[in-house]
C-alpha cells in the first residue's frame, strides 16, 4: 500500500484516503472508510473511490452487493438500506 507523507508531522495517510478526501473536497471524518467501486484495491483513481460512513456501513454495502450478485431481489435500494441502518455512502461523481 502506498503511503503519502504529510509535512513534517511525520504522519502518514493512506493514498486512497488522500485521493477520496481530494475528490470530496474535505478531509475524511474519523471512522469513514474508502470503498473501491471496481473491487481493485490497487486502483486509486478518484472515480473508483466511494466513502462509506463506517466499517459497519462498508460491510453492509458488501453484504448487499454479494446478495445482489447471488440473485437476491432487494426490497430497498442500497442507499435506502444503508440509511435505514444509520449509515451512508458517498459515490464518486463522474465527470464528462
- pLDDT of 30 reads 94
- pLDDT of 9 reads 37
Q: Which residue(s) pair with 3 in the sheet?
A: 14
| Confidence (pTM) | 0.80
Sheet with 49-52, side-by-side order of all strands:
33-36, 49-52, 89-90
Which residues of the chain, if any, have pLDDT below 70? 1-13, 94-96
Amino acid at each position: 500500500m502506498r503511503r503519502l507523507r504529510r509535512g513534517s508531522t511525520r504522519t502518514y495517510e493512506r493514498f486512497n484516503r488522500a485521493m477520496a478526501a481530494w475528490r470530496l473536497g474535505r478531509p475524511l471524518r474519523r471512522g469513514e472508510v474508502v470503498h473501491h467501486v471496481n473491487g481493485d484495491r490497487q486502483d486509486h483513481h478518484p472515480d473508483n473511490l466511494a466513502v462509506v460512513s463506517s466499517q459497519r456501513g462498508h460491510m453492509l454495502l458488501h453484504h448487499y452487493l454479494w446478495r445482489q450478485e447471488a440473485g437476491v431481489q432487494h426490497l430497498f435500494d442500497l442507499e435506502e438500506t444503508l440509511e435505514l441502518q444509520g449509515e451512508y455512502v458517498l459515490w464518486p461523481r463522474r465527470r464528462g
